[in-house]
Structure 1
């Protein structure tokens, strides 16, 4: 059986993902957010659509058109956000899309309100908005790429082998230790993320974290194998910025 491919932020480019999936006979293809498709996602990935899973990034709701190309596509039900799904190779895959935003929740002491959430859920956020400011009856469009506390809490009660996030975990200079706690509570073996367009070497932190933290660079692709003796990574395609950002 082919590998599971984890694909860093495509930002509108998908040919390299289709090529890699077909060449490796991937059993699943996981997009780590910031897809920004120029047409419906199922059209961009038509040749491999039955293998695709995705989480949203912070740019996947930048406009009505992009939102419709993602959440309105025939692959809308392959959104991993706040749930766990089984993959063909037996991997239990969980997802947490979007980013932390001050207007909703930015869980750091230096953030507005000291990191306390302004809203617990999407429904609570929408209800607090004046009717004239609601987008399609709910919160603003951009917050489809925002993390809400109830979604993270729901995930924390589940178990998985791999957790994919758009935000980075605590090893990264711009990551969040809260995601370390989430990964630990879910007993995952690996957390794979995009967002920062780099692929930093975090192996020195794996033992203390209790899981492997893996970044995938801008338009990069990595295969991640969860094996009895640990986690193994194969870089299928280097990210476009990997070399220049290696020492970030």
Structure 2
């Protein structure tokens, strides 16, 4: 197997899993990492049953995955729930991969503005008793929280996969690059913005934007278009 194909990165499927399934069959990677926004009408394993066993399937969540209880449950309660990379570092195919799900929300934290809430507990402590006793709304679950983001900086990784983009994109966020630098990351792969591009940011960190339905290799080379 070509070493640069041992991990593949799949851009937002939005219900169309055919490109990443085809890439998995063609290149036989050790793992494929999905970058969010699945729009699941059925559990994730039902969409990927053709490649379950062909390759390891890992994922982060995007904003669309919190749009409804059904979409949320079909991901977070799927047979691949244990392959969630959010807020941790996991060794995959010999590389340390860190994951950051979700998006920046103005009602929580929208850099470079200061966070409105330092974390989930800070937010809940300032809500009514009825809100405190109920499950957090999906919109808030989709948010990137400042305290969790800061805690991730203490870990070390080779690759960062995120739904949001770093400052390399006009709609990206400089703090994503700062997170990657603090972690010693060499390459960022992100989805969300439906655009294939390559860039280099501060600390010589490579960035690969992966468009919806596209698949890239470890070097950021495009292997499959939607």
What is the TM-score normalised by the length of structure 2? 0.91
Evaluate the alpha carbon distance shift between residue 131 and residue 43 of structure 1 in structure 2; reply closer, same or farther with a 3 A threshold: farther
Residues 125, 139 of structure 1: 8 Å contact kept: no
Provide Cα deviations, 1:75-97, integer angstroms capped at 9, x if missing partner. 11111110000012x01100011
Backbone CA RMSD of aligned residues? 1.7
The match for 2:44 is 41
What is the aligned partner in structure 2 of residue 25 from structure 1? 28
Corresponding residue for residue 128 of structure 2: 130
Task: Tell me how far apart the structure 2 counterparts of residues 172 and 117 of structure 1 sit (CA, whole Å).
Answer: 22
Pick 1 or 2: higher relative contact order, CA cutoff 8 A, min separation 6. 2
- The CA distance in 1 between the partners of 2:159 and 2:182, in whole Å, is 12
- Which of 95, 98, 103 lines up with 1:99 in the alignment? 103
User: Which residue is 2:221 aligned to?
Assistant: 234
Worse-superposed segment, 75-84 or 119-128: 119-128
Show the counterpart of 1:168: 165
Q: Structure 1's 189 and 70: CA in aligned 2 closer, same or farther, altered over 3 A?
A: same
1:161-219: CA deviations, max 9, x gaps?
100011101111011111111110111110110110001242xx34x442101100111
Specify the SS of the correspondent of 1:183. Answer: helix
User: Is the Cα contact below 8 Å between 2:124 and 2:131 reproduced in 1?
Assistant: no
Count of residues paired in the alignment: 221
Other-structure match for 1:149: 146
- Alignment match, 2:13: 10
TM-score, scaled to structure 1: 0.83
Question: Could you report, residue by residue, the CA deviation over 1:12-34 in whole angstroms, capped at 9, with x for unpaired residues?
Answer: 11122112112110111111111
Matched residue of 2:97: which SS? strand
**Is the 1:98–1:147 contact (alpha carbons within 8 Å) kept by the matching residues of 2?**
yes
The partner residue of 1:184 within 155, 177, 181 is 181
Task: Name stretches of at least 5 consecutive residues in structure 1 with no aligned partner.
Answer: 109-114, 225-231, 241-248
Match of 1:59 among 42, 50, 64: 64
Per the alignment, do residues 49 and 147 of structure 1 end up closer, same or farther by CA in structure 2, a change over 3 Å counting? farther
Is the contact between residue 65 and residue 75 of structure 2 (CA under 8 Å) also seen in structure 1? yes
Q: Is there any run of 5+ residues in structure 2 with no aligned partner, and where? A: none
After superposing on structure 2, the runs of 4+ consecutive aligned residues of structure 1 that deviate more than 4 Å are 131-134
Q: Does the 8 Å CA contact 1:126/1:138 hold for their aligned counterparts?
A: no
